């Protein structure tokens, strides 16, 4: 590990030298690549420098203790030594996590799809609340949400909704939301006061770039239909053929988009969703070929896996993957998801570290 850290430190210094080269201003693409690499290396390098400093402090304290006779000074040196040892152990664990293989999709935007499952209208109402929860969470992290397609019911619910979340690290955090979300509460339409259980399915797909070599869409494989938008779209949207439906013949995937007034913008959004779905299919194919490498990770399992329960009568939310229960359902439904997601990330990192240690043995 420390040989690798020394190599990264050398590379970090090389990057600084390259970025200070005035000729770099002529090549913006290379400048962006160097800036990204620099940003990725910075937390590792800073932690490693702090580790080396703690290690030096430990060695100096030990050396001074051997020759120091004054009891008061010895006590101070012992405290300094204990602090340096504690810092060194903490930073070593931190470095192990920082050096874990990074998911190449973590910096991508995401396409999210929420579908009502068991529970009829109540499931559709819950799907709408999940959509609201994720849009509020995106706002709290200064991400952008773009609605692609929604299938609403008359009482404010959503049978399905597809939207794009754009922003730094969107996939790295939202990927843990894939799976079945279960709600337990008394529906507004229930006269007997009985608690019902309903479900909604959330799919989180990394958005594929147009330049991704693995995702090639032949225009001959797509049928494009245009039609007049329906629902609450405003006068311009509902009176022009601006809505777009894409049908991908090889997979049977159908994507509709009618949120924008412009047919071109709707087509662009639909293509982004199609690319994301094809990219996700490719990832699933690779995962099945590589045994359980991807499926074993927390939060990237099967969409049919029940991952979380929202119990309204008791005010609790339970994530079943890490046995975490929080009694603040109102804040969570308003988009306060960081505690849950941070806990999932920590559990995922711990599982990966355990796997690495097993392989090392």
Q: What is the pLDDT of residue 56?
A: 93
* Most confident stretch, 9-18, 174-183, 225-234: 174-183
For residue 301, pLDDT beyond 60: no
pLDDT (mean) for 89-95:
90
> In the chain, pLDDT over 70 holds for what percent of residues?
88
Encoded tokens for 2 = 């420390």
Q: Are residues 141 and 252 in the same domain?
A: yes
Q: Does residue 210 fall inside a structural domain?
A: yes
Q: Are residues 67 and 124 in the same domain?
A: no
Q: Are residues 51 and 120 in the same domain?
A: no
Whole-angstrom Cα distance, residue 150 to residue 126?
14
Q: What is the pLDDT of residue 357?
A: 66
For residue 300, pLDDT beyond 50: no
Give the residue from 98, 124, 154 where a domain finishes.
Answer: 98
Q: Are residues 94 and 144 in the same domain?
A: no
Find all residues with CB under 8 Å of 30, minimum gap 6, and list them. 24
Q: Does residue 86 fall inside a structural domain?
A: yes
For residue 241, pLDDT beyond 80: no
Q: What is the pLDDT of residue 202?
A: 95
C-alpha atoms less than 13 angstroms from C-alpha of 163 in its C-beta half-sphere: 26
Q: What is the pLDDT of residue 179?
A: 92
Q: Using an 8 Å Cβ cutoff, are 163 and 110 in contact?
A: no
CA angle 341/346/351 to nearest 5° reads 125
Domain that residue 232 falls in: 110-349
Q: Does residue 356 fall inside a structural domain?
A: no
More confident residue, 228 or 301: 228
Q: What is the pLDDT of residue 358?
A: 63
Strand spans (E) along 207-320: 222-227, 243-248, 253-257, 306-311, 316-319
Q: What is the pLDDT of residue 290?
A: 54
Q: What is the pLDDT of residues 18-38, one digit of tens each?
A: 888 888 888 888 888 888 889
Q: What is the pLDDT of residue 217?
A: 85
- The pLDDT-based confidence of 354 (bands split at 50, 70, 90) is confident
Task: Please state, rounded to an integer, the average pLDDT across all residues of the chain.
Answer: 86
Give the residue from 78, 98, 118 where a domain finishes.
Answer: 98
CA angle 241/244/248 to nearest 5° reads 150
Can you say whether residue 189 is alpha, beta or left, with left for phi > 0 and alpha for psi between -120 and 50 degrees? alpha
Q: Does residue 359 fall inside a structural domain?
A: no
Encoded tokens for 322 = 């890490």
Look-up of token digits 């969470």? 137
Q: What is the pLDDT of residue 156?
A: 86
Let me know how long the chain is.
361
Q: What is the pLDDT of residues 306-315, one digit of tens each?
A: 999 999 999 9
Q: Are residues 41 and 114 in the same domain?
A: no
Q: Does residue 224 fall inside a structural domain?
A: yes
Q: What is the pLDDT of residue 68?
A: 83
Q: Would you tell me how many other CB atoms lie within 10 Å of the CB of residue 87?
A: 17
For residue 232, pLDDT beyond 90: no
For residue 296, pLDDT beyond 50: no
Whole-angstrom Cα distance, residue 139 to residue 120?
29
Q: Does residue 360 fall inside a structural domain?
A: no
Q: What is the pLDDT of residue 261?
A: 81
Encoded tokens for 276 = 């994301």
Q: Does residue 358 fall inside a structural domain?
A: no
pLDDT (mean) for 3-23:
88
- The pLDDT-based confidence of 129 (bands split at 50, 70, 90) is very high
Q: Does residue 323 fall inside a structural domain?
A: yes
- The pLDDT-based confidence of 259 (bands split at 50, 70, 90) is confident
Domain count, the chain: 2
Q: Are residues 175 and 254 in the same domain?
A: yes
Q: Are residues 171 and 33 in the same domain?
A: no
Please report, for residues 233, 247, 248, 321, 349, the alpha-carbon distance to residue 242 in angstroms, rounded to integers and kept in the order given. Answer: 11, 16, 19, 43, 45
Q: Are residues 225 and 164 in the same domain?
A: yes
Q: Are residues 86 and 184 in the same domain?
A: no
Q: Are residues 207 and 86 in the same domain?
A: no
Q: Which residues pair with 197 in a beta bridge?
A: 184
* CATH label of the domain that carries residue 246: 3.30.70.1660
Give the residue from 63, 98, 133 where a domain finishes.
Answer: 98
Whole-angstrom Cα distance, residue 306 to residue 298?
12
Find all residues with CB under 8 Å of 158, minimum gap 6, and list them. 114, 116, 124, 127, 128, 131, 150, 151, 152
């Amino acid at each position: 590990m420390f040989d690798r850290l020394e190599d990264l430190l050398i590379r970090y210094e090389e990057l600084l030298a390259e970025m200070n080269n005035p000729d770099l201003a002529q090549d913006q693409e290379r400048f962006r690549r160097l800036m990204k690499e620099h940003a990725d290396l910075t937390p590792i390098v800073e932690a490693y420098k702090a580790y080396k400093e703690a290690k030096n402090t430990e060695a100096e304290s030990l050396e001074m203790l051997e020759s120091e006779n004054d009891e008061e000074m010895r006590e101070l040196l012992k405290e300094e030594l204990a602090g340096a040892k504690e810092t060194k152990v903490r930073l070593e664990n931190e470095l192990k996590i920082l050096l874990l293989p990074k998911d190449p999709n973590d910096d991508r935007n995401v396409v999210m799809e929420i579908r009502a499952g068991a529970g009829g209208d109540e499931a559709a109402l819950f799907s709408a609340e999940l959509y609201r929860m994720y849009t509020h969470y995106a706002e709290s992290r200064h991400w952008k949400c773009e609605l692609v397609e929604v299938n609403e019911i008359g009482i404010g619910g959503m049978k399905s909704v597809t939207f794009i979340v754009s922003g730094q690290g969107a996939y790295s955090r939202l990927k843990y939301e894939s799976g079945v979300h279960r709600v337990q509460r008394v529906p507004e339409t229930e006269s007997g006061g009985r608690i019902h259980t309903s479900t909604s399915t959330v799919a989180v797909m990394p958005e594929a770039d147009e330049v991704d070599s693995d995702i090639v869409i032949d225009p001959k494989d797509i049928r494009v239909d245009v039609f007049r938008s329906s629902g609450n779209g405003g006068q311009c949207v509902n009176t022009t053929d601006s809505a777009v439906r894409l049908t991908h013949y090889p997979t049977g995937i159908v994507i509709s988009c009618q949120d924008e007034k412009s047919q071109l913008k709707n087509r662009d959004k639909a293509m982004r969703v199609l690319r994301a779905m094809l990219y996700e299919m490719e990832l699933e194919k690779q995962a099945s070929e590589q045994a359980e490498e991807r499926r074993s990770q927390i939060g990237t399992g099967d969409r049919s896996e029940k991952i979380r329960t929202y119990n309204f009568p008791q005010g609790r939310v339970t994530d079943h993957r890490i046995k975490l229960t929080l009694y603040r359902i109102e804040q969570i439904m308003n988009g306060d998801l960081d505690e849950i997601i941070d806990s999932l990330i920590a559990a995922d990192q711990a599982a990966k570290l355990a796997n690495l240690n097993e392989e090392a043995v």
